[in-house]
Amino acid sequence: MELDFGPDVRDFRDEVRDWLADHLVGEFAEHRGMGGPTDGAAWEVRLAWDRELSAGGWLGVGWPREYGGRGLGLLEEIVFEYEYARVNAPYRATVNALDLLGPMLLKMGSEAQKKRFLPPILGVEELWGQGFSEPGAGSDLASVRTRAERDDGGTSRSSGAESGGEWVVSGQKVWTSFGVHADWLYVLTRTDPRSVRHKGLSLLLVPTDQPGVEIRPIRNLAGQDEFAEVFLSDARTSADMVVGEVGQGWRTAMATLGIERGTTLLPQQLTFEREAEALIDLARERGALDDPMLRRRIVDAWISVRIMRTTNLRTIAELTAGRTPGAQATTAKLYASTRHQQLGQLATELAGPAGQIVGEDYALDRRQRSFLLSLAETIYGGSSEIQRNIIGEQVLGLPKEPRP
């Protein structure tokens, strides 16, 4: 898989390759491929790597220069992400702010919010967590119950100055990726207590360093605590910390999820390809290719990662042509998550008893960790059931699922 968009972008590609070759060394090189969207492994090393990227000007290559970016185009962004994934660099610790919050602020934030938050994101000075999901409101975000009320007097905790009032936020959020490290949260709240479903929601930016915020880690199957639950008890933030318009939080949240459905699967796809190649090597070692049933499953796994590649290339082609991505972009998340689980299951079977033996203090090898973490992929970011509803109703035009 090679991306070639002409001589200008080839020069940029060579610049990326040269920088990565010079800087992805030592401890950083030892942690190639470490981490993931729900994998908090080697956190401090990855954070140091992000600061190395920041110093080199490689965070936010497509963000405007006035906010600390390089002001480059979509082609350069895609090339950087591809080259980054190609060398199997550590998964960026600041991905939540870089891939989701930052683009959302660029699209819907106020000028003051952009100037306040975007440079510290690119400087790896502030870390962010997403406050969307709640108990009883995971994939169905329209059911959120976290509430925010206006208090028009006093000194703002988020700015430390007299302000035009504050929002007082109470509720519970859950499955906050890397929440234990977050300095700020972007929180979907209900600002109109009489509203129902999608109406009356607002997206607020809330600092975590205050008495009204309690963050508790959630330990997963792989023994990591990259997820967290957040309890908000009269937490406060300035009245101007609303992204977009008050009461229009659903539109803002959907813009964020739309960003998440863009080209962010490209690095994952290359990771899956590496895992498929490792699977084939393992099958050769174990003599599994002599078994026609196993051989068929291995070929199916190989084909699946090639389908992901074709899907991503098609989406990239549409984006670079200025077109809205087609149906394949909607189906990509469902396909990738289910296929990755099948890939991990097959690798575990091929490993035999050794694949079920962990090291000291529950230490896992990469194959074991990847498989256990993949079990959550059909839940986070929109469960497979919700994804099938979206595909059925919005892509295929089928009748909507009956609601109680």
CA distance 257 to 100: 8
CA distance 149 to 237: 11
**H helices within 261-326, ranges in order?**
265-286, 292-320
User: Strand runs (DSSP E) across 64-138, as ranges?
Assistant: 128-131
**Nearest residue to 372 (alpha-carbon basis) of 362, 381, 382:** 362
260 has catalytic annotation: yes
Handedness of CA 340, 343, 345, 347 (dihedral sign): negative
Are the beta carbons of 206 and 237 closer than 8 angstroms?
A: yes
Which entry of 260, 273, 349, 377 is annotated as an active-site residue? Answer: 260
Q: Which run of H or of E encompasses 194? A: none
For residue 310, the tally of other CB atoms under 10 A from its CB is: 12
Angle at CA 337, nearest 5°, toward 347 and 366? 40
Token duo for residue 69: 């970016």
At residue 150, φ and ψ (nearest 5 deg) are: -80, 135
**Nearest residue to 20 (alpha-carbon basis) of 12, 323, 173:** 12
Catalytic residues: 260
